[in-house]
Structure 1
Amino acid sequence: MKDGIHPNYREVCFQDLSNGFKFVTRSCAPTRESIKMEDGRELPLIKLETTSETHPFYTGTQKSVDNLGGRVEKFRNKFAHLKKTA
């Protein structure tokens, strides 16, 4: 591999701000803060709004928006009172 063209990957702690969940992985993202881990290591810290612990897709709390039928059925229900009488 060529020297000087690859990013400087290092261990970084990511923390979910909504519930405090933390995980450590390798990243080259710049950080300003650091955190002291339970095992004594001092790692750079990146704070996240949502992670797999809180995102609805991963937690199974995702809601279906279209649960009342298709578009045609919604149209018919909306305009059923305007039906012609012959």
Structure 2
Amino acid sequence: MRNGIHPPYGPVVFRDRAANHAFLTRSTMSADRTIVWEDGHPYPVVDVEISDVSHPFHTGTARVPDAAGRVGRFERRYGKRGGA
């Protein structure tokens, strides 16, 4: 790697406020605020709006569109396609 062109890479805590969950990882993001982690060391903290703990896809609360229901509703409303 060339010196002087890459951002600093170090430990950062990402905190999901909606789910009251935080995890420590490494990132190039920086933050003005710090938090004391479980190991007793202070780390920069970045607040995120959504993470894997609160995302509907990962929690199982995501709604899957019902394609068959949509097609049936369309056919009832506009009739089936006439064909050969």
TM range (shorter): 0.7 to 0.9
Aligned to 1:76: 75
User: Which residue pairs with 2:3 in the alignment?
Assistant: 3
- Gaps of at least 5 residues in structure 2 are 80-84
Alignment match, 1:49 = 49
Q: Which runs of 5+ in 1 are unaligned?
A: 81-86
Q: Which has the larger radius of gyration?
A: 1
| Match runs of 1:15-30 below 5 Å | 15-30=15-30
Q: CA RMSD in A?
A: 1.8
Percent identity of paired positions between Structure 1 and Structure 2 = 35
> In structure 1, how many angstroms separate the alpha carbons of the residues matched to 2:15 and 2:24?
9
Structure 1: how far apart are the matches of 2:50 and 2:73? 34
Match of 2:64 in 1: 64
Partner of 1:38: 38
Number of aligned positions between the proteins: 79
CA offsets 1:60-81 (integer angstroms, 9 cap, x no match): 221112255243x21222357x
Instruction: State the alpha-carbon separation in 1 of the partners of residues 39 and 60 from structure 2.
Output: 32
Aligned partners of 1:4, 1:76: CA distance in 2, in Å?
62
Q: Secondary structure at the match of 2:74?
A: helix
Tell me the TM-score normalised to structure 1 length.
0.78
Moved over 6 A (4+): none
Partner of 2:76, secondary structure, is helix
**What is the one-letter code of the residue matched to 1:56?**
P
In the alignment, which residue of structure 2 is the partner of 1:13? 13
